[in-house]
């Protein structure tokens, strides 16, 4: 054993007094929690929080954007394309303010795609071309936020799944739930994100 190797001869005459398990022990995942908070943009940026939703059952897409409150149906073939189209709609609406545009989305894959040199899958290339044109014409940055910090846009995107026309909401016409979410964001109240370490 001087060289650190244990051989079967070293165990001769020894008896194991514990019963080895018959199957691998399953370890329960430990839930982890973190606070996620929406932050207003620094000057002179204008922040557009977007989200896209897609329902496989109905093959319908919906988009939501918080600049003012908008909800709209989207002609998308996947959740990825719905997210990209929501960003296009939100960015086009933000152009009228004439300020640098900060797009914040809760789809990490989409943010990485936009910030890379890739065009993504074939069915998203038209949307990626439109985003590329917007980024050449305007100062635009795109960042990721967890869904818990993007609740208002997520809520609007899901509303968009059931809409047939573009809908712009005011403080008077916005749903009560949306007003509550926006008010919590304005007050800086964080949402708690709970996930399993094995899934991250």
Q: What CATH number has the domain bearing residue 83?
A: 3.30.420.10
pLDDT value of position 146: 93
Residue 82 belongs to domain spanning: 34-199
Inside any domain, residue 1: no
Inside any domain, residue 170: yes
pLDDT tens digits, 119-137? 899 999 999 999 999 999 9
pLDDT value of position 200: 46
pLDDT value of position 67: 73
Inside any domain, residue 88: yes
Inside any domain, residue 15: no
pLDDT value of position 24: 64
pLDDT value of position 48: 93
Which value, in Å, is the radius of gyration of the alpha carbons in the chain?
24
**pTM here?**
0.77
Inside any domain, residue 13: no
CA–CA gap between residue 195 and residue 148 (Å, rounded): 12
Helix axis angle, 176-187 relative to 151-160, nearest 10°? 160
Going 55 to 166 to 182 to 173, the CA torsion angle's sign is negative
The structural domain count of the chain equals: 1
Question: Would you call 174 helix, strand, or coil by DSSP?
Answer: coil
Report yes or no: 80 and 107 within 8 Å, Cβ to Cβ. yes
pLDDT value of position 90: 92
Inside any domain, residue 23: no
CA dihedral 153, 158, 164, 167 (to 10 degrees): -30
pLDDT value of position 199: 46
CA–CA gap between residue 109 and residue 106 (Å, rounded): 9
The pair of three-digit structure tokens given for residue 117, joined into one six-digit string: 């040199």
Inside any domain, residue 12: no
How many other CB atoms are found less than 10 A from the CB of residue 189?
Answer: 11
> Which segments of the chain have a pLDDT < 50?
1, 198-200
């Amino acid at each position: 054993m001087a060289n650190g190797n244990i051989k079967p001869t070293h165990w001769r005459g020894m008896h194991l007094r514990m019963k080895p398990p018959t199957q691998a022990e399953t370890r329960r995942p430990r839930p982890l929690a973190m606070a996620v908070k929406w932050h207003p943009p620094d000057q002179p940026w204008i922040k557009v929080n977007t989200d896209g939703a897609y329902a496989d059952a109905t093959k319908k897409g919906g988009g939501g954007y918080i600049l003012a409150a908008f909800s709209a149906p989207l002609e998308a073939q996947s959740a990825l394309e719905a997210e990209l189209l929501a960003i296009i709609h939100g960015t086009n609406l933000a152009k009228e303010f004439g300020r640098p545009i900060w797009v914040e989305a809760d789809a990490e894959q989409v943010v990485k795609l936009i910030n890379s040199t890739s065009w993504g899958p074939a069915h998203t290339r038209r949307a990626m071309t439109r985003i590329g044109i917007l980024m050449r014409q305007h100062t635009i940055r795109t960042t990721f936020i967890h869904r818990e910090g993007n609740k208002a846009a997520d809520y609007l995107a899901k509303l968009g799944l059931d809409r047939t026309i573009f809908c712009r909401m005011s403080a008077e016409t916005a749903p009560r739930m949306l007003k509550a979410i926006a008010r919590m964001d304005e007050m800086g109240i964080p949402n708690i994100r709970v996930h399993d370490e094995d899934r991250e």
